[in-house]
Chain A
Amino acid sequence: MPNPDTPAISVRGAVKQYGALQALAGVDLDIHQGEFFGLLGPNGAGKTTLISSLAGLVRLSAGEIRVMGHEVVRDYREARRKLGVVPQELVFDPFFSVRELLRIQSGYFGIRRNDDWIDELLANLDLSHKADINMRALSGGMKRRVLVAQALVHKPPVIVLDEPTAGVDVELRQTLWQFIRKLNRDDHTIVLTTHYLEEAEELCGRIAMLKQGRIVALDSTPNILRRVSQRALQIRAAGMPDVLPTFLAEHLLARESGVLQLRFDRHAEIEGLLAAVRESGALIEDIAITQPDLEQAFVEIMQENSR
């Protein structure tokens, strides 16, 4: 039995240099067993590079990565047995059917008879009826699900998904998340990169934000959200002056076509803001209070770090 205190993934001083470009500029990160972890960041932040390094597809220029305590270069056999990776790119082998592919993939991990688990995977991913179809004949969404099945043939304790829902329709996304959540409840560690921030907000217990190869924020999802504690007062009003009074301008988060987003910290401030809008001569038609979301947190944290 693995020691439950061993991090599922441990990254130390990871640097990856591509010529002059630093795709990873010194990353330190521990992901614990059983976590549902989100890796977020804009395009080119280094998310895929980090995942590729821990999967042994890319070799670090400096630093060290362990999967369930196994260093990924020296102890690659054990490290790779513990890891399932769903790649970002929609790759497939056109020579084989879904079932053939999954059997072969099981064989690569030294598993001889795996049909029971393969059937379970296919059922959970809603692919049972496609088992004997050639990969070429599958739609993009189905290919994506086969990639998930391929990553899971050896029941890895650590599962990494690199933007798994890019280009996947909504219904399918739900099927996929149900399954991944179930795996997480069964003690699999899940690491996810995504561009759908609401997805990370909904699923992930902890989040790291990556920018230009560095971690710029690392915290529980609620704490990340709290960092941008700003709930906003949203006011729709007619006859708003183009130039807002100073008091309103100081609280302004956003403004578009007659709708103001105003920052406030305490409820007591709301009355003052409403009064200021009325005094400017505008007629309030509607008000609402909006909760912070990850999208906003993301933009703000990214901006903080570029200052």
Chain B
Amino acid sequence: MSCFSALLYKELLRFWKVGFQTVAAPVITSLLYLMIFGHVLEGRLQPLEGVSYTGFLIPGLVMMSVLQNAFANSSSSLIQSKITGNIIFVLLPPISYREFFAAYVIASVVRGVVVGFGVWLASLFFGWTGVAHPWWVLGFVLLGGAILGTLGLIAGIWADKFDQLAAFQKFLIMPLTMLSGVFYSIRSLPEFWQQVSHLNPFFFMIDGFRYGVFGASDVSPWLSFVIVGTAFVLLAALTLQLLQRGYKLRG
């Protein structure tokens, strides 16, 4: 077992051991969204030609679950380790900062995918229509999960207290996800807000993912892919830089 695989294994085992909180609970939350929004808005909104509102909402919720849980995984794991002090167990061994990065981000992606998959399975009861382009779906899930896993790492490194992490989550991650077009197509927004939405990288994750599912989207999946890919590269570079310097982790 390499240092990297041991750390990855630890991170996976960590969320799996508390699977009720980390997997079951978020699946149930998404289903509540689906039942409530689907029930209230079904028939009133039709964001995409030929797709029911519930049908439109499901992939958005799946992707939102992937993103939020990927963020939650790395950020909460790190902040808990920092606050309890057991972070030293991963700082004392000969683990490189690249291995550290990869293990935390991959574990976050896995948690995101597991929860997303759970939401998708459950949503079969509400009528899922099938997937038009599976590779696009996979690509956006992995990239989106990796971006949020990386953001979670940044937040976990930066925050000294749970409050600060919660602020990061509430004032940055939540609004960006909510305003990314999970519940609506941004075409239904006034021109100005459409423009604003285009500044939100989360919009392209959701939109690209929806292209994979329906074969139709607000913008080209290639454009989304380039934007989301660039965002990941930039964030990863920043995070690797922080880890290499030992920012907040090695006094």
- The reply on B50 being an interface residue by CB < 8 A is no
Q: Which residues of A contact B17 (CB under 8 A)?
A: 95-96
Given contacts A104-B9, A107-B5, A107-B9, are A59 and B246 in contact (CB under 8 A)?
Answer: yes
- The reply on A111 being an interface residue by CB < 8 A is yes
CB distance B93 to A80 under 8 Å? yes
Given contacts A89-B85, A112-B1, are A105 and B93 in contact (CB under 8 A)?
Answer: yes
Q: Which residues of A contact B86 (CB under 8 A)?
A: 91-93
Instruction: Give the size of the chain A interface in residues (CB under 8 angstroms).
Output: 33
- The reply on B124 being an interface residue by CB < 8 A is no
Chain A residue nearest in CB terms to B96? A77
- The reply on B251 being an interface residue by CB < 8 A is yes
Which B residues between 1 and 59 are near A, CB-CB below 8 angstroms?
A: 1-3, 5-7, 9-10, 13-14, 17-18
CB distance B89 to A93 under 8 Å? yes
**A39 CB, nearest partner CB in chain B, Å:** 18
Q: Which residues of A contact B95 (CB under 8 A)?
A: 108
Q: Which residues of A contact B14 (CB under 8 A)?
A: 95
Q: Which residues of A contact B196 (CB under 8 A)?
A: none
Chain A residue nearest in CB terms to B14? A95
CB distance A59 to B92 under 8 Å? no
* Docked CA distance A105–B91 (Å): 11
Q: Mark A97-137, 1 if CB is under 8 A from B, else 0.
A: 00010001111111110000000000000000000000000
CB distance A150 to B89 under 8 Å? yes
* Docked CA distance A204–B18 (Å): 45
CB distance B2 to A58 under 8 Å? no
Q: Which residues of A contact B189 (CB under 8 A)?
A: none
- The reply on B94 being an interface residue by CB < 8 A is yes
CB distance B92 to A111 under 8 Å? no
CB distance B1 to A59 under 8 Å? no
Q: Which residues of B contact A106 (CB under 8 A)?
A: 1, 6
Chain A residue nearest in CB terms to B18? A95
Q: Which residues of A contact B93 (CB under 8 A)?
A: 80, 105, 108-109, 154
**A3 CB, nearest partner CB in chain B, Å:** 21
Q: Which residues of A contact B226 (CB under 8 A)?
A: none
**B128 CB, nearest partner CB in chain A, Å:** 34
Q: Which residues of A contact B246 (CB under 8 A)?
A: 59
CB distance B3 to A91 under 8 Å? no
**A110 CB, nearest partner CB in chain B, Å:** 6
CB distance A57 to B3 under 8 Å? no
Q: Which residues of A contact B199 (CB under 8 A)?
A: none
**A159 CB, nearest partner CB in chain B, Å:** 12
Q: Which residues of B contact A59 (CB under 8 A)?
A: 246, 250-251
Which B residues between 85 and 138 are near A, CB-CB below 8 angstroms?
A: 85-86, 88-96
Residue in A77, A80, A100, A110 whose beta carbon sits within 8 Å of that of B92 in the complex? A80
Given contacts A56-B250, A104-B9, A107-B3, are A91 and B84 in contact (CB under 8 A)?
Answer: yes
- The reply on A44 being an interface residue by CB < 8 A is no
Q: Which residues of B contact A92 (CB under 8 A)?
A: 84, 86
Given contacts A56-B92, A76-B94, are A110 and B251 in contact (CB under 8 A)?
Answer: no
CB distance A108 to B13 under 8 Å? no
* Docked CA distance A85–B18 (Å): 29
Given contacts A57-B91, A104-B9, A105-B93, are A110 and B2 in contact (CB under 8 A)?
Answer: yes
* Docked CA distance A110–B3 (Å): 5
Pairs A-B, 6 closest by C-beta atoms: A107-B6, A108-B93, A91-B85, A77-B94, A107-B1, A58-B251
In the complex, besides A107-B6, A110-B1, 12 extra interface pairs with C-beta distance below 8 angstroms are: A55-B92, A56-B91, A57-B88, A57-B92, A58-B251, A78-B94, A104-B9, A105-B89, A107-B5, A108-B94, A110-B94, A154-B93
**What are 5 A-to-B residue pairs whose CB atoms are below 8 Å?**
A57-B92, A77-B94, A77-B96, A95-B17, A108-B7
A residues engaging B (CB < 8 A)? 52, 55-59, 76-78, 80-81, 83, 85, 87, 89, 91-96, 100, 104-112, 150, 154
